[in-house]
Structure 1
Amino acid sequence: MISDEMDFMNAKVLRKKAEEVLKEKQQKGSIPEETDTKRLLHELQVHQIELEMQNEELRLAYITAETALKKYTMLFDLSPMGYFTLDSDGAICELNFMGAEMLGERHFSLIDSNFKLFISEDSKPVFNNFFKKIYTSNAKEFCEVILGYDKKTLCSVYMEGVVTEDDQKCLLSVVDISKFSLQNKS
């Protein structure tokens, strides 16, 4: 059909030959009729607009999610109380900056450390009872303990904890009450 002698660099010759090939294909029925082509073009245009609308909706959802992520990251990380997520053995899965400050260590060095190592010897029975009750009662529990390690006292804290239903992690909020304890003793 296409001859080797044709000059494919000449746009006019190439177009004329392409139109001839198109007419042949239309006569054989392998190319849709003009009305079918218009219908297909319409469908493609409608589909393109649908995709553009979905893309805009996804873009707005992404912006909303980014805004919420920034808000809750700031709320979690910069909170004036310590937040911890512990597994059932007491290992720290997540914590915020105040939690790291309360334990006197760098934030990332505490991940996978056992939280129980930061409970003073005198407070370990209270904490262990509290931690056991959280997992057995499936309700919010609270206690007051002293954080410390190697005979070094860090601070007195009030803790509240609850276990998540889905992955059985303990969500722990910790408030430094050392200043309140000292004021009550005066």
Structure 2
Amino acid sequence: MNYKQLNSSIRDDLRQKAEKQVNEKHLQIVKPNMSSEEKKLLREVQILQIILEMQNEELQQTNEVVEKALKKYTMLFDFAPIGYFILDTEGLICDLNFTGAEMLGEKRFSFLKTDFKLFISKESHTIFSRFFERIFCDAEKVSCKITLGYNDRLARQVYLEGLVIENEQECLLSVIDISHFKN
């Protein structure tokens, strides 16, 4: 069944339910001087009104589901205890959570479209470059340990895991601060 057939089937189902409600509730208000054409139009308007009410109810239910999903996403991504970064194929930061921004030492949205490599210590550039290349080549979860640190910012050891998302045009990095663990 293709999209048009499915859409038509859904419309037919809605219409049948609406017609059933009109019949059950005897909604048609017939005036003695109404022509048969006016009666048909009135019935059609009542059916369409019920269809719209049913669609509105369905939209409200869908909106509630979407709101719950958004709240869950926000909690899982934005407030996670580990850093999350979404990078494009060039390594530019497309999105990050609050913990990720805290790891880099600035406000969250000041990093958008910034090259993630700028925050990696010089000693870790080669490791990160290989890691980043493998993410897009292997198309599977890849991991490594590097040191975040730039300018006079405190360097910290982190464990990275990366995975390709969004039609292989972006990757998701999870970043865990391991600097307080003993090797």
Same fold (TM over 0.5): yes
Q: Partner of 1:149 in structure 2?
A: 150
Aligned amino acid, residue 52 of structure 2: L
What is the distance in 1 between the residues matched to 2:130 and 2:168? 21
- Within a 5 Å distance, the mapping from 1:99-138 to structure 2 comes to 99-138=100-139
Verify: 1:63 aligned to 2:64, yes or no. Answer: yes
Instruction: Specify whether residues 146 and 169 from structure 1 end up closer, same or farther in structure 2 by C-alpha distance, changes over 3 A only.
Output: same
What is the distance in 1 between the residues matched to 2:57 and 2:153? 56
What is the distance in 1 between the residues matched to 2:136 and 2:123? 22
Q: Partner of 1:14 in structure 2?
A: none
Q: Partner of 1:74 in structure 2?
A: 75
Deviation sequence 1:67-116 (CA, Å, 0-9, x none): 11011112111000000000111110000000000111110111111100
Q: Partner of 1:168 in structure 2?
A: 169
Q: Partner of 1:13 in structure 2?
A: none
What is the distance in 1 between the residues matched to 2:152 and 2:38? 84
Instruction: Specify whether residues 107 and 123 from structure 1 end up closer, same or farther in structure 2 by C-alpha distance, changes over 3 A only.
Output: same
User: By how many angstroms is 1:153 displaced?
Assistant: 3.5
Unaligned runs of 5+ residues in structure 1 are 1-32
Percent identical among aligned pairs is 53
Residues 105-114 or 143-152, more deviating: 143-152
Q: Secondary structure of the residue that 2:54 maps to in structure 1?
A: helix
Residues 45-54 or 165-174, more deviating: 165-174
Instruction: Specify whether residues 151 and 128 from structure 1 end up closer, same or farther in structure 2 by C-alpha distance, changes over 3 A only.
Output: farther
Residues 38-47 or 91-100, more deviating: 38-47
Q: Does structure 1 retain, via aligned residues, the 8 Å contact 2:136–2:168?
A: no
Q: Secondary structure of the residue that 2:154 maps to in structure 1?
A: strand
Q: For the pair shown, which has the larger CA radius of gyration, 1 or 2?
A: 1
Instruction: Specify whether residues 164 and 84 from structure 1 end up closer, same or farther in structure 2 by C-alpha distance, changes over 3 A only.
Output: same
What is the distance in 2 between the residues matched to 1:37 and 1:167? 58
Aligned length: 151
Indicate the RMSD between aligned Cα atoms, in angstroms: 1.6
Aligned amino acid, residue 60 of structure 2: R
What is the distance in 2 between the residues matched to 1:151 and 1:42? 76
What is the distance in 2 between the residues matched to 1:128 and 1:112? 18
Unaligned runs of 5+ residues in structure 2 are 1-33
Verify: 1:178 aligned to 2:174, yes or no. Answer: no
Aligned amino acid, residue 133 of structure 1: R
